[in-house]
């Protein structure tokens, strides 16, 4: 296999970079994503509320596994942690093939959540450590962006393919997703463990969140505003990803289009992430955050009041905002904090999204099952408007005047 990939005689950084990109593409190839809710309904007999509860369990698993996964990565082995993560994701998707009730589906999501936790962070650390060993750490930002983009493009391709395969057999997209995880595991095992320092994680992410909030609310309220804004916007855009399928069902769209629309959203998100930097230095963060707020709220309120095929592109805004908006949030945080707090605050902002989804997701699923998807979208839009406006106001009011990109 090494000969086939032409990696045998490469430097550590070249070899690992190529394998990381291949592994990331395999991990992100979730072929059944555009028909996930359809699969849960048709093959397991679950409702949208059941699905959102299972997603909340998935988010809770990621939060609880944050420190154990970091401990394994730092003290055991980067490549083995990545391989173990892909083994767990493959096991989760394989278990889903056999699931026929809520408990078994939830267990499959727990296995997948453990796998995602093991991979998340370790993939970036593996890339940086590999580049550092060869003195190429200055290439990290460029290659990390390529890694992130490859995930979205793999999702787009897999979504398009999975939507087509679902028409042939409902189980094919799930089976192919499990296979892609196994291929990613072999990519991880072919990596070379880079030379690095070993350090044990000291605190649970919940403790980091509390410490960060204390820091932000005592003299750094603009940072708190950014964190809460990210929590509201990106929790909501994640929910927008899942409400697409019930809305398509409301329109009685042929299932083959589910993959096309989902792929389009991820493709636009990938392009937004790659090209968004062109606006840096030209548009202030507060202006961009306001645009994101207006776009997401408008999409939810319009989809909640209008039943039309023309509304479908608006539902894709969630995917676009994730690819385009998250780097902007990171930039706004980076210019406001010193290096010793930067990683903790960025991690806190990311974990707050998972934490917020745990109560909000199931409530959204419950409302949708009782009152319909359009009523759920209206409530979601009002929640984003209220939460986003308050957090954006906190950010703008307390932003330091001396900073250019307010």
* 131-152 tens-digit pLDDT: 777 777 677 766 766 777 788 8
Give every CB contact of residue 179 below 8 A, 6+ residues apart in sequence.
none
- Give the mean pLDDT of the chain: 82
Which of 112, 137, 118 lies closest to 127 in space, CA to CA? 137
pLDDT greater than 50 at residue 212: yes
pLDDT digits (tens, 9 = 90+) for 217-237: 566 777 778 888 888 888 888
Question: Would 7-191 and 202-406 be classified into the same CATH topology?
Answer: yes
Mean pLDDT of 345-370: 84
pLDDT greater than 60 at residue 248: yes
Match 């955050």 to its residue by tokens. 289
CATH no. of 202-406: 1.20.1250.20
Q: What percent of the chain has pLDDT over 90?
A: 32
- Rounded Cα distance, 34 and 166, in Å: 10
Q: Please tell me what DSSP assigns to residue 33.
A: G
Tokens (6 digits) for 361? 């997701």
Identify the top-confidence range among 75-84, 97-106, 271-280. 97-106
- Rounded Cα distance, 106 and 55, in Å: 8
Task: Give the Å distances, CA to CA, from 127 to 89, 132, 326.
Answer: 21, 9, 20
Tokens (6 digits) for 278? 């062109």
Q: State the pLDDT confidence band at 111, using cuts at 50, 70 and 90.
A: very high
Task: Give the Å distances, CA to CA, from 309 to 250, 251, 257.
Answer: 10, 7, 12
pLDDT digits (tens, 9 = 90+) for 41-88: 999 999 999 999 999 999 899 888 876 776 676 677 788 889 999 999
Q: State the pLDDT confidence band at 209, using cuts at 50, 70 and 90.
A: low
Identify the top-confidence range among 59-63, 195-199, 332-336, 342-346. 59-63
Q: What is the pLDDT of residue 150?
A: 81
Of 127 and 185, the structure prediction assigns the larger pLDDT to: 185
pLDDT greater than 70 at residue 280: no
* Domain covering 7-191: architecture: Up-down Bundle (1.20)
Q: What is the pLDDT of residue 44?
A: 93
Which of 392, 400, 383, 377 lies closest to 48 in space, CA to CA? 377
Structural domain boundaries in the chain: 7-191, 202-406
User: Lowest-pLDDT range, 18-22, 205-209, 286-290?
Assistant: 205-209
Q: What is the pLDDT of residue 247?
A: 92
Q: What is the pLDDT of residue 208?
A: 60
- Rounded Cα distance, 263 and 233, in Å: 21
User: Lowest-pLDDT range, 8-12, 34-38, 360-364?
Assistant: 8-12
Which of 385, 167, 148, 355 lies closest to 259 in space, CA to CA? 167
Task: Give the Å distances, CA to CA, from 256 to 16, 152, 349.
Answer: 37, 20, 36
Q: State the pLDDT confidence band at 275, using cuts at 50, 70 and 90.
A: low
């Amino acid at each position: 296999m090494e000969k086939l990939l032409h990696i045998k005689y490469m430097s550590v950084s070249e070899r690992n970079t190529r394998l990381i990109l291949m592994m990331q593409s395999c991990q992100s190839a979730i072929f059944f994503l555009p028909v996930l809710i359809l699969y849960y309904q048709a093959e397991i007999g679950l409702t949208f509320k059941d699905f959102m509860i299972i997603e909340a369990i998935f988010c809770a698993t990621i939060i609880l596994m944050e420190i154990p996964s970091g401990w394994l990565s730092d003290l055991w082995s980067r490549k083995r942690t990545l391989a173990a993560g892909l083994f767990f994701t493959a096991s989760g998707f394989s278990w889903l093939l056999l699931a026929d009730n809520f408990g078994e589906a939830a267990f499959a999501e727990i296995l997948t959540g453990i796998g995602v936790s093991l991979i998340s962070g370790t993939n970036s650390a593996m890339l940086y450590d590999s580049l550092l060993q060869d003195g190429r750490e200055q290439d990290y930002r460029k290659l990390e962006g390529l890694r992130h983009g490859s995930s979205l493009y793999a999702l787009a391709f897999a979504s398009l393919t999975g939507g087509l395969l679902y028409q042939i057999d409902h189980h094919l997209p799930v089976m192919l997703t499990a296979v892609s995880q196994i291929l990613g595991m072999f990519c991880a095992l072919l990596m070379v463990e880079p030379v690095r320092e070993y350090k044990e994680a000291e605190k649970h992410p919940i403790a980091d969140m509390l410490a960060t909030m204390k820091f932000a609310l005592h003299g750094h309220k603009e940072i708190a505003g950014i964190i809460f804004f990210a929590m509201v916007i990106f929790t909501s855009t994640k929910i927008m990803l899942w409400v697409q399928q019930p809305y398509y069902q409301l329109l009685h769209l042929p299932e083959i289009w589910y993959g096309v629309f989902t792929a389009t959203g991820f493709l636009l998100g990938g392009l937004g992430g790659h090209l968004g930097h062109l606006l840096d230095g030209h548009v202030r963060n507060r202006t961009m955050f306001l645009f994101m707020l207006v776009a997401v709220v408008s999409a939810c309120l319009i989809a909640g009041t209008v039943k039309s095929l023309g509304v479908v592109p608006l539902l894709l805004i969630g995917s676009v905002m994730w690819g385009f908006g998250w780097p902007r949030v990171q930039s706004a945080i980076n210019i406001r904090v010193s290096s010793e707090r930067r990683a903790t605050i960025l991690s806190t902002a990311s974990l707050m999204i998972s934490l917020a989804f745990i109560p909000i997701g199931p409530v959204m699923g419950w409302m949708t099952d009782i009152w319909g998807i359009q009523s759920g979208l209206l409530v979601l839009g009002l929640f984003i408007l209220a939460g986003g406006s308050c957090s954006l106001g906190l950010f703008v009011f307390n932003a330091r005047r001396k900073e250019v990109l307010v």
